[in-house]
Amino acid sequence: MSEIKVTINGKEYTGKSGQSILEFAGVNGIEIPNLCHDPRLIPSGSCRLCLVEVEGQKGPVCACTFQINPGMVVKTETEEIRAIRKTVLELLFYEHRGVCTTCDENGDCKLQRYAYEYQLSDDIFQQPTGGERSENYTTGNKALEYDVDKCIRCGRCIRICEEVQADSALTFKSRAASVEVTTSFDIPLNDSTCELCGQCISSCPTGALYERAAKGKGQCKDLSRTRTTCPYCGVGCQIDLNINPKTEGIVRVTSEVGCIPNDGNLCVKGRFGLDFIDSDKRLTDPLIKRDGKFEKVTWEEAIKFVAERLNRIRSEFGADSIAGLSSAKCTNEDNYVFQKFIRACIGTNNVDHCARLCHASTVAGLARAFGSGAMTNSIDELKNAGCIFVIGSNTTEAHPVIGLYVKEAVMKNGAELVVADPRKIDLVRFAKLYIAQKPGTDVALINAMMNVIIDEDLHDKAFIEERTEDFEKLKPILKDFTPEKAEAITTVPAEKIRAAARMYAKAETASIIYSMGITQHTTGTENVLSLANLAMLTGNIGKASAGVNPLRGQNNVQGACDLGALPNVYPGYQSVEDAELQAKFESAWGQKLSAQKGLTVIEIMHAIEEDKIKALYIMGENPALSDPNLNRTRKALEKVDFLVSQEIFLSETAEYADVVLPTVCFAEKDGTFTNTERRVQRVRKAVAPPGQARSDWEIICEVATKMGYPMSYEDAEEIMDEIATVTPIYGGMSFERIDSVGLQWPCPDKEHPGTRFLHEGTFKRGKGKFHPVEFTAADELPDKKYPFVLSTGRQLYQFHTGTMTRKSAVINQVSPTGYVEIHTDDAAGLKIRDGENVEVITRRGKVTTPAKVTDNIEKGWLFMPFHFREAPANMLTNDALDPTAKIPEYKVCAAAVSKTRQPD
Binding site for another protein (CB under 8 A): 158, 162, 168-175, 182-187, 192-193, 429
CB of residue 743 vs ligand SF4: minimum separation in angstroms? 18
Name which of 36 and 322 has its Cβ closer to another protein: 36
CB of residue 503 vs another protein: minimum separation in angstroms? 21
- Inter-residue contact 819 to 849 (CB < 8 Å): yes
Q: Is 404 in the site for ligand SF4 (CB under 6 A)?
A: no
Reference 716, options 690, 684, 753; nearest CA is 684
182 binds, among ligand FES, ligand SF4, another protein, none (CB under 5 to 8 A by kind): another protein
Residues 6+ positions from 57 with CB-CB distance below 8 Å:
none
Name which of 46 and 226 has its Cβ closer to ligand FES: 46
**SS3 labels along 731-778:** CCCCCCCCCCCCEECCCCCCCCCCCCCCCCCCECCECEECCCCCCCCC
> Taking CB positions, which residue lies at the least distance from ligand SF4?
270
187 binds, among ligand SF4, ligand FES, another protein, none (CB under 5 to 8 A by kind): another protein
Which of 190, 199, 626, 884 binds ligand SF4 (CB under 6 A)? It is 199
Residues binding ligand FES (CB under 6 A) = 34-37, 45-50, 62, 64
CB of residue 476 vs ligand SF4: minimum separation in angstroms? 42
CB of residue 170 vs ligand SF4: minimum separation in angstroms? 5
Which of 22, 74, 200, 613 binds ligand SF4 (CB under 6 A)? It is 200
Q: Is 204 in the site for ligand SF4 (CB under 6 A)?
A: yes
By CB under 6 A, which span of 167-175, 240-248, 719-727, 818-826 interacts with ligand SF4? Answer: 167-175
CB of residue 155 vs ligand SF4: minimum separation in angstroms? 5
153 binds, among another protein, ligand SF4, ligand FES, none (CB under 5 to 8 A by kind): ligand SF4
Name which of 374 and 616 has its Cβ closer to ligand SF4: 374
Residues 6+ positions from 873 with CB-CB distance below 8 Å:
792, 818, 847, 864, 865, 866
8 binds, among another protein, ligand FES, ligand SF4, none (CB under 5 to 8 A by kind): none
Other C-beta atoms lying within 10 Å of the C-beta of residue 14: 10
Name which of 234 and 850 has its Cβ closer to ligand SF4: 234
DSSP 3-state of 238? strand
Continuous H helices in 797-844: 809-814, 824-829
Would the CA dihedral through 468, 472, 473, 477 be positive or negative? Answer: positive
Q: Is 742 in the site for ligand SF4 (CB under 6 A)?
A: no
Other C-beta atoms lying within 10 Å of the C-beta of residue 575: 13
> Rounded to an integer, what distance in angstroms lies between the CA atom of residue 550 and that of residue 359?
8
209 binds, among ligand FES, ligand SF4, another protein, none (CB under 5 to 8 A by kind): ligand SF4
> Rounded to an integer, what distance in angstroms lies between the CA atom of residue 840 and that of residue 871?
10
Which of 103, 209, 213, 536 binds ligand SF4 (CB under 6 A)? It is 209
Which of 30, 62, 170, 608 binds ligand SF4 (CB under 6 A)? It is 170
Residues 6+ positions from 347 with CB-CB distance below 8 Å:
314, 319, 591, 592, 593, 594
Other C-beta atoms lying within 10 Å of the C-beta of residue 8: 22
* CA dihedral of 884, 886, 892, 897, whole degrees rounded to 10: 150
By CB under 6 A, which span of 153-161, 323-331, 423-431, 818-826 interacts with ligand SF4? Answer: 153-161
Which element (helix H / strand E) includes 173? strand 170-173
CB of residue 65 vs ligand FES: minimum separation in angstroms? 6
Name which of 93 and 172 has its Cβ closer to another protein: 172
Q: Is 161 in the site for ligand SF4 (CB under 6 A)?
A: yes
Other C-beta atoms lying within 10 Å of the C-beta of residue 786: 18
Which of 156, 340, 459, 771 binds ligand SF4 (CB under 6 A)? It is 156
- Inter-residue contact 826 to 859 (CB < 8 Å): yes
DSSP 3-state of 583? helix
Continuous H helices in 185-229: 199-203
Q: Is 206 in the site for ligand SF4 (CB under 6 A)?
A: yes
49 binds, among ligand FES, another protein, ligand SF4, none (CB under 5 to 8 A by kind): ligand FES
How far is C-alpha 773 from the geometric centre of its chain's CA atoms? 30
CB of residue 513 vs ligand FES: minimum separation in angstroms? 35
184 binds, among ligand FES, another protein, ligand SF4, none (CB under 5 to 8 A by kind): another protein
Name which of 46 and 244 has its Cβ closer to ligand FES: 46
Name which of 384 and 856 has its Cβ closer to another protein: 856
Q: In the window 233-252, what residues touch ligand SF4 (CB under 6 A)?
A: 233, 235-237
Between vectors from CA 860 to CA 859 and to CA 866, what angle results, nearest 5°?
A: 105
By CB under 6 A, which span of 151-159, 347-355, 740-748, 780-788 interacts with ligand SF4? Answer: 151-159
DSSP 3-state of 458? coil
Q: In the window 217-236, what residues touch ligand SF4 (CB under 6 A)?
A: 230, 232-233, 235-236
Name which of 58 and 175 has its Cβ closer to another protein: 175
Q: In the window 608-637, what residues touch ligand SF4 (CB under 6 A)?
A: none
Kindly list the distances between the CA atom of residue 795 and the CA atoms of 233, 396, 811, 853, 857, in Å, as whole numbers in the listed order: 12, 9, 11, 16, 15
Give the 3-state secondary structure percentages of the chain, helix then strand then coil, rounded to 5.
35, 20, 45
Reference 324, options 352, 356, 358, 360; nearest CA is 352
> Rounded to an integer, what distance in angstroms lies between the CA atom of residue 116 and that of residue 437?
60
> Rounded to an integer, what distance in angstroms lies between the CA atom of residue 266 and that of residue 160?
12
Strand ranges for 346-403 from DSSP E: 351-352, 387-391
Contacts 24+ apart (CB under 8 A), 472-481: 473/770, 473/771, 473/772, 474/450, 474/533, 474/537, 474/770, 474/771, 474/772, 476/772, 477/447, 477/772, 477/773, 477/774, 478/447, 478/450, 478/451, 478/454, 479/451, 481/444, 481/447, 481/448, 481/450, 481/451
Query: Phi then psi for 106, rounded to 5 degrees?
Result: -45, 120
Name which of 264 and 628 has its Cβ closer to ligand FES: 264
Helix axes 79-95, 110-117, angle to 10 degrees: 130
- Inter-residue contact 882 to 521 (CB < 8 Å): yes
Reference 795, options 435, 426, 442, 353; nearest CA is 426
Name which of 48 and 142 has its Cβ closer to ligand FES: 48
Name which of 157 and 213 has its Cβ closer to ligand SF4: 157
Q: Is 364 in the site for ligand SF4 (CB under 6 A)?
A: no
- Inter-residue contact 246 to 218 (CB < 8 Å): yes
CB of residue 160 vs ligand SF4: minimum separation in angstroms? 6
Binding mask 465-484 for ligand SF4 (x = CB under 6 A): --------------------
Name which of 205 and 754 has its Cβ closer to ligand FES: 205
CB of residue 194 vs another protein: minimum separation in angstroms? 10
Binding mask 256-295 for ligand SF4 (x = CB under 6 A): ------x---xx-xx-------------------------
Query: Phi then psi for 749, rounded to 5 degrees?
Result: -145, 175
Name which of 137 and 866 has its Cβ closer to another protein: 137
CB of residue 159 vs another protein: minimum separation in angstroms? 12
Q: In the window 315-344, what residues touch ligand SF4 (CB under 6 A)?
A: none
Residues 6+ positions from 544 with CB-CB distance below 8 Å:
377, 381, 384, 509, 756, 757
Name which of 48 and 467 has its Cβ closer to ligand FES: 48
Name which of 135 and 186 has its Cβ closer to another protein: 186
Residues in contact with ligand SF4 by CB under 6 A are 151-157, 160-161, 165, 167, 169-170, 181, 194-200, 203-204, 206, 208-209, 230, 232-233, 235-237, 262, 266-267, 269-270, 400-401
